[in-house]
Amino acid sequence: MRRIVLLLVVGLAIAGCTAVKPGAGKSEVTLSGKLNPMGMSTFQYGTHLLNTGKQMYALKSSKVDLKAHEGKDVIVKGVKVAGYPVDGGPDFIDVQEISNK
């Protein structure tokens, strides 16, 4: 009986060990377009909008000051926020880096 329990515990321990790559499951994106502050919208997320000419993206960031780039053509690098879009809104991007075009 002890042998069965020991084998079960060892088997579960081995099965529970997996290698996870940093950033696994995150959708990293690089986008360019005109950055505007979020105005009135039907969706309730994001502080800014990026208009690429083909698509709109809702943006947020705790790493960079998006307000300093308002009204400018920019290139943003970030990660798609899981669970979005909702309410018919755009994809939601957490911006990690931003530069002027």
Structural domain contains residue 5 = no
Q: Does position 66 have pLDDT exceeding 70, yes or no?
A: yes
User: What is the pLDDT of the chain when averaged over all its residues?
Assistant: 86
| 29, part of any domain | yes
pLDDT band at 11 (very low <50, low <70, confident <90, very high): low
In a domain, 56, yes or no: yes
Range of the domain at 85: 23-100
Residue 11 inside a domain? The answer is no
DSSP string, the chain: -HHHHHHHHHHHHHHH-----TTTT--EEEEEEEEEE--S-SS---SEEEE-SS-EEEEE-SSS-GGGGTTSEEEEEEEEPTT---TT--EEEEEEEEEE-
**Which residues lie across from 57 on neighbouring strands?**
50, 91
Cβ–Cβ under 8 Å, residues 37 and 67: yes
> Into how many domains does the chain fold?
1
- Is 6 domain-assigned? no
pTM over 0.75: no
On whether residue 13 sits in a domain, the answer given is: no
Does 12 fall in a domain?
A: no
